[in-house]
Amino acid sequence: MTEFDFTVLLIAYNEEKFLETCVEQVIENANSLNLKYEIVIVENGSSDKTFDIAKNLSKKFPFIVAVHLDKPSGTNAMRKGYTIATGKTVINLDVDLSTDMKHFKELIDYSKNYEIVTGSRYLDPSMVNRTLDRHYLSLVYNRIFIRGLLGSKILDNGCGFRAVKREIGYELYNKIKDDGFFGPNEFLIRAQRKGYEIKEFPVKWIENYRRVGPWKIFVTYVIPVTKLWINLTFKNDA
């Protein structure tokens, strides 16, 4: 089996409008840096034509792997991706390219010196373009629940623009019990408790479109935050 230096892991849920453009951008940026890489697309139980597009891309490019999950799940999709990945470092990014791809080289460069690298929408001088309700709810969620209750030192625990050493990602995502979309947040909490070297850097981030209302997302995330706090505080689940 060929081992690549990087695996670009794309979790795609109803991304028929964005997937092909995203892959084109990844290929353009990765080739410009002369990277030895593969792309793994985990189609996450979509109801549109996302998986058809993913399959066609995998036929067109031999370095692309496309897999399908029957049921949407952020954590399970990440587990599947890290199981398939052969790259020494796994790059995660949102398929709708919310994070400006001008930061791709920065992410790659930082990944050479840190075990985990994550983009930040709150670290100066980041630039964020999103609706006010989502912006302030996100700030409350990060400051009160993630940083206050769970003790995270990371300013932005929800940005999907990351680079992670494969072994670390595989280890931690297999420890995460929540099968929903809180997994990437819990990942950083567990990574900090393990003492891994983490680099957070500012990015330009644009909210391209909205799937779910901000209050619904907020309420949905409060439950797994509470469960994780109980597990870490009273059950010593590190």
Q: Which domains does the chain have, with CATH numbers?
A: 6-234 (3.90.550.10)
Pick 28 or 158 by higher pLDDT.
28
**pLDDT, mean of residues 177-197:** 90
In this prediction the pTM is 0.90
DSSP string, the chain: ----SEEEEEEESS-TTTHHHHHHHHHHHHHHTT--EEEEEEEES-SSSHHHHHHHHHHH-TTEEEEEESS--HHHHHHHHHHH--SSEEEE--TT--B-GGGHHHHHHHHTT-SEEEEESSSTT-EEE--HHHHHHHHHIIIIIIIIIT----S-S----EEEEHHHHHHHHTT----SS-HHHHHHHHHHHHT--EEEEE-EEE----SS-HHHHHHHHHHHHHHHHHHHHHS---
| Sequence-separated (6 or more) residues with CB below 8 Å from residue 189 | 146, 150, 151, 152, 157, 228, 232
Residues 162-180: tens digit of each pLDDT = 999 999 999 999 999 888 7
Percentage of the chain beyond pLDDT 90 is 65
Read off φ and ψ for residue 39, nearest 5 degrees.
Answer: -120, 125
CA dist 115 → 89, 166, 167, 172, 201 (Å): 9, 9, 10, 13, 14
Q: Which of 144-148, 197-201, 233-237 has the lowest mean pLDDT?
A: 233-237
Neighbouring C-beta atoms of residue 29, cutoff 10 Å = 18
CA 90 to chain centre: 10
Whether omega for the bond prior to residue 125 falls within 30 degrees of 0, making it cis, is: yes
The pLDDT of residue 197: 98
- What's the longest Cα–Cα distance across the chain? 51
Q: Rounded mean pLDDT of the chain?
A: 90
Confidence band for 91, pLDDT divided at 50, 70 and 90: very high
Confidence band for 231, pLDDT divided at 50, 70 and 90: confident
**pLDDT of 214 strictly over 80:** no
Confidence band for 145, pLDDT divided at 50, 70 and 90: confident
Confidence band for 216, pLDDT divided at 50, 70 and 90: low
The pLDDT of residue 2: 64
Pick 119 or 180 by higher pLDDT.
119
**pLDDT, mean of residues 65-72:** 95
**pLDDT of 117 strictly over 60:** yes
The pLDDT of residue 153: 93
Residues 47-64: tens digit of each pLDDT = 999 999 999 999 999 999
**pLDDT of 237 strictly over 60:** yes
Residue 204 pairs in a beta bridge with: 127
Confidence band for 96, pLDDT divided at 50, 70 and 90: very high
**pLDDT of 213 strictly over 80:** no
**pLDDT of 127 strictly over 70:** yes
Pick 43 or 233 by higher pLDDT.
43
